[in-house]
Chains A and B, each alone.
Chain A
Amino acid sequence: MASSVRRVLLGAFAVLPFLGALPAAALAAAPNAAVAQTFIKQSGDQLVSIVNGPGSTQAKSDKLRALVDRIVAVDQIGRFVLGRYWRVATPAQQQEYLHLFHQTLAYNITNQIRAYKGVTFAVNGAKPGPEGQMVATTVTRPGESPADVQWVVDTVGGAPRIVDVVVEGTSLRITERSDYSSVINDHGGQVSALLDAMKQQISRIAAG
């Protein structure tokens, strides 16, 4: 009995350092359900109109990147994804990491545009979650089964922003964190190894 209590306490202490890695923004009050739903509806409508609208892939991806910077808390997600290694990284590494994180996201958006041509979406509701309002949507692509996608909306810098995407119970930022921390772990805890891997990936995608 006593040992199990001790284990729980030890477990709690083991988790504490990771809590410190959470973005300070998460502590701000999450927007209410109506605000979050309206935000996702408007953001989604803009996104769909760009993807399905006229213009070259390049023009679309420029527009999408600008939109994503407005509606997604990219810096906060980037910090969350790096987790406890954010503190291990030097200020210069933090800067470079965030730059590469933005770039990776931009390339991923460009790559996905064609696959999402003809996309439609519907907002189904919202409920509070541990990280913010969870807005449920159904995203339908031609030739694919409809997918249930949840958007986690939190207040960042005084405005609602997307801080996470949850599909089939899997969180995008937690998955990314496992991915990135695995690379760092495999290289003796060196953040520079992650930065190298990110650069390689970006140049690989850029090369087609």
Chain B
Amino acid sequence: MGIVKTSLLSLLAVPVLLAGCATPPPRSNQAAYEAYRQQNDPLKPANQAFYRFDNVLDAYALRPVAVGYSHVTTPAIRQHVGDFMDNMDAPAQLVEFMAAGKPRDAGTTLVRFLVNSTVGIGGIFDPASALGYRRVYTDLGLTLAGYGVPEGPYLYLPFAGPSDLRDASVLPAGLFLSATAAAPPSTGLTIFNYGSDGLSVVNTRANLIGTIDNIKKSSLDPYATFRSLYRQHRAAQLKTIDERDIATPPSWYPAKVREAMKPRPYGAP
């Protein structure tokens, strides 16, 4: 994590400072006012400016690098890189799950980190999934959402992409939660941070080449489409966490009760 993100964060205040606020339609025009409220995007002009900026940056820098990267890697290699990055993030997610009061997911994260860091050779492989401890995901924004903090207005951040007020506000705190933030500072660590941040960005982008190209080609208003996708995706992540948050029945409970408390497998009515 680290420096790349720190420099991004200093840019976070910019959309607010630019005061590029959209003018809401008059309340007398009920349909238009309702549509404006539903979009929940009062900083739209500034957001769109950053969206265009990111698009140019992506077209001339990130996408070409990602295309080159995907030519010299296989899906399996990209999977292992992704697994490694996930494992690096596991300690932070453990803290977040505990803070959110999700003991089952916290336990899963802990087991995954221990197994994948050792048997999985530093997280390059994911043997924990094969043991039944499948990947779970959270971040500080989702932890806050669990407390009932609303997402707030939509934000498009330069370099960082779609976000909202809630998720953007906890980005600085995320820096102190990373695994490498706990290690003593050294030149080697700094180089590692730069390397892993860059690799993570390129690896993620490479996996999304086809998807993003398609969205841009097939949508009439890509900005609005990405906004919708971001919100739906966050809502789905939150729902997944809630659905998994079920009690573990103690072993001395009657078998019938234990059966009733079991999570329903996919396909069950």
Contacts and interface: CB of A to CB of B under 8 A. Distances in A.
Contact of A182 (B224, B232, B265, B266): B224
Contact of A179 (B78, B221, B237): B221
A125 B266 contact: yes
A127 B225 contact: no
B220 A201 contact: yes
Interface in B222-236: 223-225, 227-229, 232-233, 235-236
A145 B78 contact: yes
A124 B266 contact: yes
Contacts of B236: 168-170
B220 A197 contact: yes
Contacts of A145: 75, 78-79, 207
Interface stretch (B27-35, B58-66, B113-121, B163-171): B27-35
Given A194-B220, A197-B220, A144 B210 contact: yes
DSSP majority for the A interface?
Answer: helix
Contact of A115 (B207, B210, B269): B210
Given A185-B35, A189-B32, A178 B224 contact: yes
B6 interface: no
B232 A175 contact: yes
A33 B269 contact: yes
Interface string B244-269: 00000000000000000000111111
A169 B224 contact: no
Contacts of B218: 104, 108
A37 to B, nearest CB: 8
Contacts of B75: 143-145
A95 to B, nearest CB: 19
Q: Interface extent on B, as a size class?
A: 35 or more
A185 B32 contact: yes
Interface string A15-45: 0000000000000000001000000000000
A179 B210 contact: no
Tell me which of B34, B227, B229, B233 has the highest count of chain A C-beta atoms within 10 A of its own C-beta. B229
B54 to A, nearest CB: 18
Interface string A171-208: 10011111111110110110000100110010001000
A178 B227 contact: yes
B219 interface: yes
Contact of A180 (B210, B220, B266): B220
B233 A170 contact: yes
A175 B235 CA distance: 13
Contact of A127 (B74, B219, B266): B266
B129 interface: no
Nearest to B264: A127
B35 A175 contact: no
A136 interface: yes
B220 A198 contact: yes
Given A33-B267, A115-B210, A181-B35, A169 B225 contact: no
A126 B267 contact: yes
Nearest to B240: A169
Nearest to A136: B266
A62 to B, nearest CB: 20
A142 to B, nearest CB: 9
A168 B233 contact: yes
A14 interface: yes
Contacts of A181: 35, 224
Given A145-B79, A169-B237, A183-B220, A175 B32 contact: no
Closest CB pairs A-B (n = 9): A169-B236, A125-B267, A182-B224, A178-B228, A125-B266, A170-B232, A182-B221, A179-B225, A179-B219
Interface of A: 14, 33, 84, 104, 108, 111, 115, 124-128, 136, 143-145, 168-171, 174-183, 185-186, 188-189, 194, 197-198, 201, 205
Given A170-B229, A179-B224, 7 more contacts: A111-B217, A128-B269, A145-B75, A179-B225, A185-B32, A188-B32, A194-B220
